[in-house]
Chain A
Amino acid sequence: MKGMTIIVKKTAQLIAGMIFMYGIYVIVHGHLTPGGGFAGGVIMAGSLILVILSHGTDFFSLVKEEMGTTIVESAATICVILIATAGFLFGTKVFFNNFLPKGNVGDLVSAGVLPLYNIFVGIEVAASVFIIFLSLIIFKEESPK
């Protein structure tokens, strides 16, 4: 897949890291401000898509990247279920039990396991949106017109 012109390339180089950083901010502060795992994950995927679309890559690195992203996605989903099961093992016997100390409402480290759920769901959403995009590109490269 070909890249775009110099204007888009250079702007993407400067901006993409900052967009990724903003996605992390939305995820990590998800229990304090608007946002959370879903929104931040899609923003992170958007920054990765921006880099791929503007720079362009060859077929083999796309396939390699897709395999890595699939593993990341599955691992994140398993982590979500593992945390839920951990809640089952500690304290009262309830799935999705919030077993960590809650802290003060409004602090960054508070709300028990909710930030961990946010982080893993964010990784999972980012990885799956990125995989969908990658598979569309790979399919296009694979079958010439």
Chain B
Amino acid sequence: MIAYYMCFGLFFVGLYGVITRRNLVKIAISLSIMEISTFLFFALIGYIDNGVAPIVNPADPDKIYVDPLPQTLVLTAIVIGLATTALLMAVIIRLYRKYKTFDIREINELRG
């Protein structure tokens, strides 16, 4: 049970960063931390005691395997996370070139 609590603690650290920081790069970092805690939660759900990695050996079928379904979901989610982080970075670099700052408050004031 402690592992689940620690995993949610990581999520709340990311949430805290998103709410309190004003720097765009810091917000991107916090979002990626929240993403990572979600991946960890899925991997924790799929774990089974004394299980082996889900790769079938045809000669020896009577093994306990770890659940492959959450791993599949995380596998696609990681690559999508890379794509969204890239998109976020593109937006941030474009904003920095225009306003010369990472601070969202200043960008709000300078807009117009």
Interface residues of A (CB under 8 A from B): 32-34, 36, 38, 42, 104-106, 125, 128-129, 132, 135-136, 139, 143
Q: Please tell me if B55 contacts chain A, counting CB pairs below 8 Å.
A: yes
Q: Please tell me if B91 contacts chain A, counting CB pairs below 8 Å.
A: no
Interface residues of B (CB under 8 A from A): 53, 55-58, 75-76, 78-79, 82-83, 86, 89-90, 93, 97
A106, A128, A139: the one within 8 Å of B58 (CB): A106
Nearest 3 Cβ contacts at the A-B interface: A132-B86, A105-B58, A38-B79
The answer to whether B79 touches A125, judged by C-beta atoms less than 8 angstroms apart, is: yes
Q: Which residues of B contact A129 (CB under 8 A)?
A: 82
- Extra contacts, 13 of them, besides A36-B75, A125-B79 (Cβ < 8 A), are A34-B55, A42-B82, A105-B56, A105-B58, A106-B57, A106-B58, A128-B83, A129-B82, A132-B86, A135-B90, A136-B89, A136-B90, A143-B97
Q: Compute how far the CA of A145 lies from the CA of B55 in the bound complex, rounded to whole angstroms.
A: 52
Known: A128-B83, A129-B82, A132-B86. A38 touches B56 (CB 8 A): no
Q: Compute how far the CA of A36 lies from the CA of B55 in the bound complex, rounded to whole angstroms.
A: 13
Residue among B78, B86, B97 having the largest count of chain A Cβ atoms under 10 Å: B86
Q: Compute how far the CA of A36 lies from the CA of B76 in the bound complex, rounded to whole angstroms.
A: 12
Q: Compute how far the CA of A125 lies from the CA of B86 in the bound complex, rounded to whole angstroms.
A: 13
The answer to whether B56 touches A33, judged by C-beta atoms less than 8 angstroms apart, is: no
Q: Compute how far the CA of A105 lies from the CA of B60 in the bound complex, rounded to whole angstroms.
A: 12
21 contacts between A and B (CB under 8 A): A32-B55, A34-B55, A38-B75, A38-B78, A38-B79, A42-B79, A42-B82, A104-B58, A105-B56, A105-B58, A106-B57, A106-B58, A125-B79, A128-B83, A129-B82, A132-B86, A136-B89, A136-B90, A136-B93, A139-B93, A143-B97
With CB as the reference atom, state the residue of chain A lying closest to B54.
Answer: A34
With CB as the reference atom, state the residue of chain B lying closest to A125.
Answer: B79
Q: Compute how far the CA of A104 lies from the CA of B93 in the bound complex, rounded to whole angstroms.
A: 51
Min CB distance A38 to B, Å, is 5
The answer to whether A34 touches B53, judged by C-beta atoms less than 8 angstroms apart, is: yes
